[in-house]
Structure 1
């Protein structure tokens, strides 16, 4: 039996290779189809105990398509190329966060 190397994991899907835009779009479509409101957050620290997430603009309450959210993810990447970026989705009925996954990790 072999022990895996210690590697920091971030959020859902962190054990997978980075998601491409098509895979991110599918997750966003799932969130939008369920009536969840997506939001984009970023953080500059890579240490889990120091992670402080900052909201990128306001949550995308009126988003109708994954492309709208992907556009904002790209804008966030351009503004903060050294930041970790994640998408979170909120359910306004249950008033809880229902989905959260990392979409960009700096090299």
Structure 2
């Protein structure tokens, strides 16, 4: 098996998942990014079900990073509505750079603590 971008991301994802699942009773903030859209969701650690989710819709304007920051701010609002103040950030195997970093910064601006 060759080391493509996908397989290396999958390896990083599994390492991160093992650390997060073994140590934390906190709610997980999961990030996914496609070529066009940024997604963030809050996942309950006990049940594994989604509490809240946000995506930057087609109506959003600006660069991908600006849209990602708005996703972070929106997910923070939804978290605070559900009385969630601290989360564990699951970057889903992506490098902490660009849009993933923008979502994290937006969530911190919105009032979440990692």
TM normalised by structure 1 equals 0.37
Of Structure 1 and Structure 2, the greater strand share is in 1
TM normalised by structure 2 equals 0.35
